[in-house]
A and B are shown apart, each in its own frame.
Chain A
Amino acid sequence: MKLDRSNKLKIGLGVAVAIILSRLFIIQIVDEKYKIDASNNSMVYSIIYPPRGIIDDRNGKILVGNKIAYDLLVTPKEVEAFDTLALCEALDISPEFVRGKMKEYYRNRRRIGYQSVVMLKQMTPERYMKFAEIAYKFPGFRGQARSIREYPYNAGGNLLGYVSEVDQDFIRKHEGYSAGDYAGKTGIEATCEPYLKGEKGYNIYLRNSHNKIEGSYRDGEMDKEAVPGKNITTTIDAELQHYGQMLMQNKVGSLVAIEPSTGEILTLVSSPGIDVDMLADIGSHYNEILANPYKPMFNRAVQSAYPPGSVFKLVNGLIGLQEGVFTPETEYPCRMGYFFGRNKLGCHDHRSPLDFEESIMMSCNAYYCYVLRGILENDKYASVAEALDAWNRYVESFGFGRKLGSDFPSELGGFIPDSKYYDRVYGEGRWKATNVISLSIGQGEIGCTPLHLANLCATIANRGFYYIPHLIKDSEEVSIDGKYKERQYTLVDTSYFPEVIEGMYRAVNSGYGSGGTATIAAVDGLEICGKTGTAQNPRGDDNSVFICFAPKDNPRIAVAAYVENGSFGARWAAPIASLLVEKYLEGDIRGNRKALEKRILDGNLMDKVKTD
């Protein structure tokens, strides 16, 4: 074939055809982009929202359920002239609101096109029905049912957390969400979000370029049913939680109860907290909550680091016994305090000398100064620093100074000092046992959460081990991590615990006038064992602290109460904790304790608490 002009033109034709074919090949076969676009283009996914999982308490009572609310949708393109006042009357809104919205839709008419926009959110069924009766007069307006949260008990607002519409930031960070979805933001709603949310379903419709629905796609064979969220069973006892909240009302602090034999949290109160009424409609209360100086959103039980006070003597005593620096029979003197050099760590008036059990019963400060000195100045260790690090390891084995690993989204670890810390403060080798002597009575550089204290109480109740405290119960639908079922032993031998328990028993049950610090917590027959604490608070009155468990053998509940600015442990914390124990074990408060209950319920310490 000679290359004359005719053939050159034929070659040119071939090249042009090849260009078209290769371009077709690219857009039809190689490039996936156009296929994805196509399904977006003509298919409308009408989302079916699944009902969110229900949250039950440990006895099968519903803590968080669902109810129906209605959103009012407007399709501006379909709206015709309507009687604004009649609409406002039916919906109970102001004409200005409607006019403002309609103006806004008109401004954004290009963006909205044939779509619907939400005009009002979460109307109650009653309010919606009033509108529905006359809805035919308002073309372009329609209601859309939506399931929202409902709270049968006013229990555990902070624990449960709230659900709200996802924002752009959330969508970016989490997969599978799109605008208009709701997600748990705090508490159990957040930690159990993967279980609770369920799976969205959809109906696929085909639409034309004017957004008009032309029918369902492939007769609905590609549609997907919504999968309801899984139900969550919590370890919370709704009645007890509610009672705990009542006890803590008008006080700032926390109340935590754990079942020692499982580590299940029965009650976890942070006061002041959020009422469940607010949770249901968090959006309209959000500013009010933020403005509250007592920070109700702040879950003190797991997020606030307090000094534990005298409660911590139990830990030091156990470590001292394990280290062999003293025996339960060892007696130490106390002359209204412990004197070292020219300094003194004061104590209250009690008889002297005391043995170990009595030191717990009467909460002697001097006794534990001797104990801690013994621990830190132990010949076993080359230096005080080394001994302090050994002490630190013991303390951490009780769960202090680190996150316990509970299923709270934002648990605080607290702080237990080690030698490096004091080296930084005083200089390396420039500090000795007397510098850190306040650690002996749970003051100074110790920070722990009320949950830590409740866990300490459960550990003692169990005679030397604990289960990681948790809120979610194993159920058919949700299985919990195996770590919650393992015993966590401390570094202290279990044989040393009975003496401590005896001391705690005597602190409560020795009778008035015996010197026991917590006799106010005694309930006949319940065998409550407890330890008071009075933690210094630089911002006013001392904090009132109390931990206790009951009964003495086979304990069923371990409680920690922490009341800010409540002064002595016996003043507020001990009655609160013991009332909670009584309520749990007996189901009611005995007649002779009704007066105490009334004093607690009526008590108001809010004025004492300094807010920023």
Chain B
Amino acid sequence: MERSRRGRGLKETLDWPLIICYLLLVFIGWINIYASVQSAEPSSIFDFTARSGKQFIWMITAFSLGAIILFVISPTVYESFSLPIYLATIGLLVAVIFLGVEVKGSRSWFEFGPVRFQPAEISKISTSLMLATVMSQYGYKLGNIRNFILTAAIILVPMVIIVAQSETGSALVYAGFIFMLYREGLSGWLLFMTGVAILLFILTLTVSPYFSILALMAIVTLCNDLFPGKIRKWLLIILPVLTVLAILPWGLERIAVITHAGEDSILYRLPLEYILAGIGVCSIPYFAIQAFRERNTFKWMSIVAFLAGIFLVFSVDFIFHDVLQDHQRKRIEVLLGLKDDPSGVGYNVNQSMIAIGSGGLTGKGFLKGTQTTYGFVPEQSTDFIFCTIGEEWGFIGSAFVILLYAFLIWRVIHDAERCRENFTRIYGYCVASCIFMHLFINIGMTIGIMPVIGIPLPFVSYGGSSLWAFTVLLFIFIALVRHERRYFG
């Protein structure tokens, strides 16, 4: 009895694999920061004028923060204080727009003497806590429209403010909360539709709006006919029709060439995407009658989704040219291969891929990297730190780092699932989502599968505010888990 009241000991309650994983990543980050700023004349890793030395200070302070969270602060305070913390963060986010210093075109940093910090880093933590608090309340249901709007607002408010700071990259991380929402009962179709929206966006920009609409038609009809009886009909009728439509623009062009039609010929000017969209919209009443007769909600939803898709396709042009900023548009254009520009925007990605690629299987060895050491890769100790890992440690080293992250995320999900408190579980999923988004966007950027979005690699990138924020984010979760294990385990 005595023992259960005091809880179990440190050894059993702490999630040691998670902590070891964290320490490994921080340590890997530290030595690679040392390697990446290494120039021809070597200096000590503890040289406090260099980044590696500074990072050592951040590490020590971050470990202290972690210890305070684990041993000093009661894990029960988070739930009660999440609202004030959240509101304070929102206040900071707004304040930084007016009071912050401008760094690379975005106002998102506070500066106190030598220390700079980014409220956007803290807002990940406070938003996660706020979400966990709200969603773990008794009677909360995601299906409830009021609850849903509240949840969406908690996520969107900081996101919008961060976009206003011109830090679109950081804002993108908030999209990761959709994974947590999915776990908590968000319809899988919403996740699916998000994916389709991204696909349509890319197709519209890379191929043409016409193909984008065709793809939308194919997806909507396929989803409706994805039953054993109907799939045959889809394969036999709709697929061939769509295929013929797909080669139609090419055919028209051939005809125009053969008949030597002039520049302004009807064959060139035919607004195919509008005709196709028009036909699609005109056929909606037919499907609507079907849906009404069959009382088929899915069909109704499909019609709405189709209209939304058409709207998306036609607004992409607008979004792309009028909403996105110039540098973001260029980054997307380079990523999609619309523009090849190795010395301009593509320079960063190209240099980073060269650095990583030149590592080969086993890498060039610690401090032997030529690309990162001699400054070919920009932002090499912050956003592009993975280049140093890739170049000096090769495929083996980079795969090890990625697997460490994968283990960390998996372990967080695993722990979260085993928790009895909804608060801990939801918070855990928020942590996993954030780390995953950072990992995928950051590494994806360095290896050319994501646009250049300047966000740090958690625990590894140089920078105090980033390291502190991720440490706090993770250690609150570890503390919550420890708390559970102590009393429920």
Contacts and interface: CB of A to CB of B under 8 A. Distances in A.
Interface in B164-183: 179, 182-183
Interface in B265-308: none
Given A28-B394, A41-B371, A9 B358 contact: no
B439 to A, nearest CB: 8
14 contacts: A6-B183, A9-B182, A10-B410, A14-B406, A17-B405, A20-B443, A20-B447, A24-B390, A27-B447, A27-B448, A28-B361, A38-B355, A208-B375, A209-B374
A41 B390 CA distance: 16
B365 interface: no
A5 B354 CA distance: 38
A43 B354 contact: no
Given A24-B395, A24-B447, A214-B39, A34 B357 contact: yes
Contacts of B121: none
A432 B304 CA distance: 99
A206 interface: yes
Contacts of B190: none
Nearest to B179: A9
A25 interface: yes
Contacts of A27: 353, 356-357, 447-448
A99 interface: no
Given A20-B402, A24-B390, A35 B357 contact: yes
Nearest to A207: B374
B402 A17 contact: yes
B351 A23 contact: no
A586 interface: no
Interface in B213-229: none
A210 interface: yes
Interface residues of B, number: 40
Interface string A3-25: 00110011011101101110111
A258 to B, nearest CB: 59
B449 interface: yes
Nearest to A27: B357
Given A20-B402, A27-B357, A38-B371, 13 more contacts: A6-B413, A6-B417, A10-B413, A17-B405, A27-B353, A27-B447, A28-B360, A29-B361, A29-B395, A34-B357, A39-B358, A207-B374, A209-B375
A481 interface: no
Nearest to B417: A6
Interface in A291-344: none
Given A6-B413, A16-B436, A43 B394 contact: no
Nearest to A208: B374
A20 B450 CA distance: 11
B147 interface: no
B376 interface: yes
Interface of B: 39-40, 179, 182-183, 351, 353-361, 370-371, 374-376, 390, 394-395, 398-399, 402-403, 405-406, 409-410, 413, 417, 436, 440, 443-444, 447-449
B402 A21 contact: yes
Contact of B357 (A12, A13, A16, A38): A38
Given A41-B351, A206-B374, A34 B440 contact: no
B436 A28 contact: no
A10 B429 CA distance: 11
Contacts of B353: 27, 34
A215 interface: yes
B449 A13 contact: no
Q: Which 3 A-B pairs have the closest CB atoms?
A: A34-B357, A38-B358, A42-B370
A33 B354 CA distance: 8
Given A6-B417, A9-B182, A214-B40, A24 B356 contact: yes
A37 interface: yes
A221 interface: no
A31 interface: yes
A34 to B, nearest CB: 2
Given A9-B179, A29-B361, A214-B374, A38 B409 contact: no
A25 B374 contact: no
B413 A34 contact: no
A43 B405 CA distance: 34
Q: Is chain B's interface secondary structure helix, strand, loop, or mixed overall?
A: helix
A39 B358 CA distance: 8
A41 B373 CA distance: 12
Interface in A29-69: 29, 31, 33-35, 37-39, 41-43
Interface residues of A, number: 35
Contacts of A6: 183, 413, 417
B370 A9 contact: no
Contacts of A14: 406
Contact of A41 (B183, B376, B436): B376
A209 B376 CA distance: 5
A517 to B, nearest CB: 75
A23 B447 contact: yes
Given A21-B402, A28-B390, A42-B370, A34 B443 contact: no
A13 B374 contact: no
A358 B409 CA distance: 112
A41 B395 contact: no
A157 to B, nearest CB: 47
Given A24-B356, A24-B390, A9 B183 contact: yes
Nearest to B406: A17
Contacts of A209: 374-376
A24 B355 CA distance: 12
A210 B357 contact: no
A17 B406 CA distance: 7
A209 B387 CA distance: 15
Nearest to A43: B370
Contacts of A38: 354-355, 357-358, 370-371
Contacts of A34: 353-354, 356-358
A27 B374 CA distance: 21
A22 to B, nearest CB: 10
Nearest to A12: B179
Nearest to B399: A21
A27 B376 CA distance: 18
Instruction: Find the residue from A31, A35, A210 having the highest chain B CB count within 10 A.
Output: A35
A35 B40 CA distance: 22
A311 to B, nearest CB: 66
A33 B440 contact: no
A61 B448 CA distance: 63
B376 A23 contact: no
A223 to B, nearest CB: 16
Contacts of A17: 402-403, 405-406
A21 to B, nearest CB: 6
Contacts of B444: 20
Contacts of B370: 38, 41-43, 206
A381 to B, nearest CB: 63
A225 B284 CA distance: 78
Nearest to A33: B357
Contacts of A10: 410, 413
A12 B376 CA distance: 34
A211 to B, nearest CB: 10
A10 B351 CA distance: 32
A275 B405 CA distance: 76
Nearest to A25: B395
A604 to B, nearest CB: 63
B399 A24 contact: yes
A28 B395 contact: yes
Contacts of B390: 24, 28
A533 B374 CA distance: 76
A35 B360 contact: yes
A28 B413 contact: no
